[in-house]
Amino acid sequence: MPDQVPEYRRTERRVLILAPFVRIIQDWVHPGNFNASSIFLWLKQIGYTGGYGTVKSFVRLLKEQQVRIAYSRFETMPGRQAQMDWADFKITEPSGRTSTVYLFLMQLGYSRAMYAEFVQRCTLESFLDCHKRAFYYLGGVPAKVLYDNMKYVVIRRDIGQVYFKFKLLHFSHHCGFTPKACSPYSPWVKGKVERPVDYIRESFWRGYGFNSIEQANRDLFAWLDTVANTRVHASHRQAIAERWQKEKASLRMLPPSEYDTSLKIFRMVLKNCLIRFDANWYKLPHAAVGKMIRLKIKDGTIRFFDDDRLLASYPQSVGIVSAKGNPLFTATSAAPPSSHPTLHRLAGALRGPEDYSCGIKPDIPKGSMTTP
């Protein structure tokens, strides 16, 4: 029988063409996660003569192998680390409208004891307030808190360097913990807190009848005390409550003074004793005219401070432009109306000769402003 011609195998030919460049491709794929099209163009510049499909298939194989790498679980020492995360929960209101509430979750790494709380909005103030309540509930402050790359934590990354939000750094210094950010697209690093979110969805939230966020938090706290933090955890096979008591001894003490999480800004008091914030006007005592006043805004209330002295406190106006003031400030003012200049707004004029706070009342177009 004549010798048979060896069967042509396209796969073997592809491997031979790609062989001199395998190590280079691996170096490009694993650290840099470059795509196949970019790698193909670079290979052409250094002598590769094969097609794009060969490179694409090999790059896909490398990335699939990278995904399948098994990551071993790491266990932390008592008090060393907590992990924090946000999650959103959809609710259907009686009107049929769908809205969202947000869950703050923090879990201690050693015991797996966790604190959770629903909030209406994911603001920086609620983010920090939830931290304060979590530390109080858990019995102290861990040495480190691990986050993903949320906007309240990380400003940017630059060549491996993480730049944290200044207010978070100030808060962490006050409380005595170090913030840590996990690498982007690495959910397995923060798996201890990612899984409890699913646990809350299944064990607490599924079938729950939502009425109000206040009632939901009361029910959630009761569930944490009676179910979540009393069970035997699947990872360490021990009762969470027992390990939690042991871990409390390693947590750092709560800070001696409370951290003020209110939004803080500065505004100048005009000659008419008015100060403007968020398109609304607020009246202050005449002695504050010309001073740079600190405003603290939180929970719908604005407080005005001259250094540490509280000058006034008003409900925050939302929506239509309005002017708020204490009549006592007008009574104590001796400045004549003629001594005050015209008051202007960006989108028009608020002007007039009438005495308002300490000598002037804006001439308010009908329907554009309200005075309490």
Looking at the structure, tell me whether residues 287 and 244 fall in a common domain.
no
pLDDT tens digits for range 111-165 = 999 999 999 988 888 999 999 999 999 999 999 999 988 887 888 877 668 888 8
Both tokens assigned to 283? 């009246």
DSSP state, 239?
B
Both tokens assigned to 47? 């002598």
Looking at the structure, tell me whether residues 183 and 124 fall in a common domain.
yes
Return the amino acid letter for 116. A
Closest CA to 22 of 58, 47, 52, 46: 58
Does residue 74 form part of some domain?
A: no
pLDDT of residue 260: 87
Does residue 24 form part of some domain?
A: yes
Does residue 75 form part of some domain?
A: no
* Cβ proximity of 172 and 205 under 8 Å: no
Average of pLDDT values for 96-102?
Answer: 89
Of 11-15, 193-197, 317-321, the range with the highest mean pLDDT is: 193-197
Looking at the structure, tell me whether residues 203 and 86 fall in a common domain.
yes
Does residue 4 form part of some domain?
A: no
Which of the two residues, 307 and 136, has the higher pLDDT score? Answer: 136
Query: Of 222, 248, 274, which closes a domain?
Result: 248
pLDDT tens digits for range 205-241 = 988 888 889 999 999 999 999 999 999 988 778 899 9
Closest CA to 174 of 259, 253, 252, 79: 259
Q: Which residues pair with 306 in a beta bridge?
A: 309
Query: Of 248, 274, 309, which closes a domain?
Result: 248
Looking at the structure, tell me whether residues 170 and 236 fall in a common domain.
yes
Looking at the structure, tell me whether residues 321 and 215 fall in a common domain.
no
The whole-angstrom distance between residue 45's C-alpha and the CA centroid of its chain comes to 44
Does residue 141 form part of some domain?
A: yes
Of 62-71, 154-163, 265-274, 352-361, the range with the highest mean pLDDT is: 265-274
Query: Where does residue 54 fall: left (phi above 0), alpha (psi -120 to 50 degrees), or beta otherwise?
Result: alpha
Q: Is the pLDDT of residue 371 over 70?
A: no
Does residue 42 form part of some domain?
A: yes
Looking at the structure, tell me whether residues 349 and 288 fall in a common domain.
yes
Domain span at 284: 263-370
Looking at the structure, tell me whether residues 86 and 31 fall in a common domain.
no
Looking at the structure, tell me whether residues 54 and 116 fall in a common domain.
no
pLDDT tens digits for range 40-52 = 888 888 888 888 8
Looking at the structure, tell me whether residues 172 and 268 fall in a common domain.
no
The whole-angstrom distance between residue 96's C-alpha and the CA centroid of its chain comes to 29
pLDDT of residue 196: 86
pLDDT of residue 367: 41
Looking at the structure, tell me whether residues 234 and 273 fall in a common domain.
no
Number of structural domains, the chain? Answer: 3
Q: How far apart are CA 161 and CA 3, in angstroms?
A: 64
* Cβ proximity of 55 and 36 under 8 Å: yes
Looking at the structure, tell me whether residues 102 and 232 fall in a common domain.
yes
Q: Where residue 116 sits, what CATH number does that domain have?
A: 3.30.420.10
At residue 125, φ and ψ (nearest 5 deg) are: -65, -45
Residues in Cβ contact with 246 at an 8 Å cutoff, skipping those fewer than 6 apart: 78, 110, 111
* Cβ proximity of 49 and 29 under 8 Å: no
Does residue 257 form part of some domain?
A: no
Looking at the structure, tell me whether residues 233 and 268 fall in a common domain.
no
Does residue 186 form part of some domain?
A: yes
Query: Of 67, 95, 116, which closes a domain?
Result: 67
Return the amino acid letter for 27. D
**For the chain, how far is it from start to end, CA to CA, in angstroms?**
108
| Number of continuous H segments (helices) and E segments (strands) in the chain | 10, 17
